A and B are shown apart, each in its own frame.
Chain A
Amino acid sequence: MKNLDSVFAAYIVGWGVFFVFYLTIAKRTSNLRAELDRLKSSLPRAK
């Protein structure tokens, strides 16, 4: 089929951008949650 590779490329790149965007958010969220828990546990100790 003519241009099928272009159509695939468009969808893959398009979804790819959103997927990568979501992955970076998810990763930063989980890292931050770990840091936040660490910080929260250090707080009552200091008090």
Chain B
Amino acid sequence: MTKRIILGAVAILLVIVAAYASFFIAPQERTMGLIQRIFYFHAATAWAGEMTFFVCFLANLLYVWKRQPKYDWLGVSSAEVGLACITVVLITGPIWAHPVWGIWWTWDARLTSTFVLWLLYVSYLLLRTLIEEPERRALLSALFGIFAFLDVPLVFFSIRWWRTQHPQPVIMGGSGSGLDPTMSKVFFFSVLAMHVLAAFLIVERYVLEKMKSEFDFLAREVEAQ
């Protein structure tokens, strides 16, 4: 319990420091000005989201292999946290884009792929609600989760290739657009902060799932009497 509180406190601290750094330490970007600072939050959250989906994939594989409920708990926790991250990315993206480029949305490669990723994990979570029996739910959602994760690189490559056929404005600076060294440091610190926050949220969600499982077990015991 105390470890969780410490993790939460560290997460919040890091996030606050990262935000401060984004505004007061990072230099102002030449072309976009103030609004570019959203990048530190937006891109760091995207990286954290991708990491949590990878954790989800590992949890799914481990469940199919070992069949221990804890991997199912980890799977659903990381999927939900990942979805929260991607939701933040999909919301902060347009908020950044609109003042700068005048449009809320464009079907550019990264945005489109991120949106498909979001849909895949929504489907994963919806699937879980539609299967009642816990072991079956764990197995089938783990298998779908594995297929979904294998699909992710295919989604990114196919959409990027598609966009080279029909170029669109590249929003939010292409990858590797060369960051100034201070900007890089602030960015990587933000990445760290978001990863710690994601880890904290996964732990909290995991504890809830574990408790749910305990509750169901006890409820069945009571019923049996």
Q: Evaluate whether A10 and B38 lie within 8 angstroms (CB atoms) in the complex, with A17-B84, A25-B205, A32-B212 already known.
A: yes
Binding site for B on A (CB under 8 A): 1-4, 6-7, 9-11, 13-15, 17-18, 21-22, 25-26, 28-29, 32-33, 35-36, 39-40, 42-43, 46-47
CB distance from B65 to the nearest CB of A (A): 28
Complex CA gap A7/B33 in Å reads 11
Which residues of B73-93 are within 8 A (CB) of A?
Answer: 80-81, 84, 87-88, 91-92
- A42 nearest CB across to chain B (Å): 6
Q: How far is the CA of A33 from the CA of B211 in the complex (A)?
A: 8
Task: Kindly state the interface size class of chain B when it binds its partner.
Answer: 35 or more
Of the A-B pairs whose beta carbons lie under 8 Å apart in the complex, a sample of 13, sorted by A's number, is A2-B33, A17-B84, A18-B197, A22-B201, A25-B201, A25-B204, A32-B208, A36-B214, A39-B215, A39-B222, A42-B222, A43-B221, A46-B225
Q: In the assembled complex, how far is the CB of residue A16 from the closest CB belonging to chain B, in whole angstroms?
A: 9
The CA-CA distance from A18 to B52 in the complex, in Å, is: 14
Do B98 and A6 touch (CB < 8 A)?
yes
Main secondary structure, interface of A, reads helix
Query: Bound complex: CA of A42 vs CA of B73, how far in Å?
Result: 27
The number of inter-chain residue pairs (CB within 8 angstroms) is 89
Q: Determine whether the beta carbon of A36 is less than 8 Å from that of B218.
A: yes
Q: Which residue of B lies closest to A43 (CB)?
A: B222
Whether, in the assembled complex, B35 has its beta carbon less than 8 Å from a beta carbon of chain A, the answer is yes
B88 touches which of A6, A17, A22, A36 (Cβ 8 Å): A17
B201 contacts A18, CB within 8 Å?
yes
Residues of B participating in the A interface, judged by any CB pair closer than 8 Å: 15, 19, 33-35, 37-38, 41-42, 45, 80-81, 84, 87-88, 91-92, 95-96, 98-100, 197, 201, 204-205, 207-208, 211-212, 214-215, 218-219, 221-222, 225
Sorted nearest first, the 5 A-B pairs with minimum C-beta distance are A3-B35, A10-B95, A10-B92, A10-B38, A14-B88
What's the nearest-Cβ distance from chain B to residue A23, in Å? 11
- Cβ of B214: which chain A residues have Cβ within 8 Å of it? 36
**Which residues of chain B are near A29, meaning CB under 8 Å?**
204, 207-208, 211
- From A6, which residue of chain B is reached at the shortest CB distance? B99
Q: Is the CB of B34 within 8 A of A18?
A: no
Q: How far is the CA of A1 from the CA of B205 in the complex (A)?
A: 39
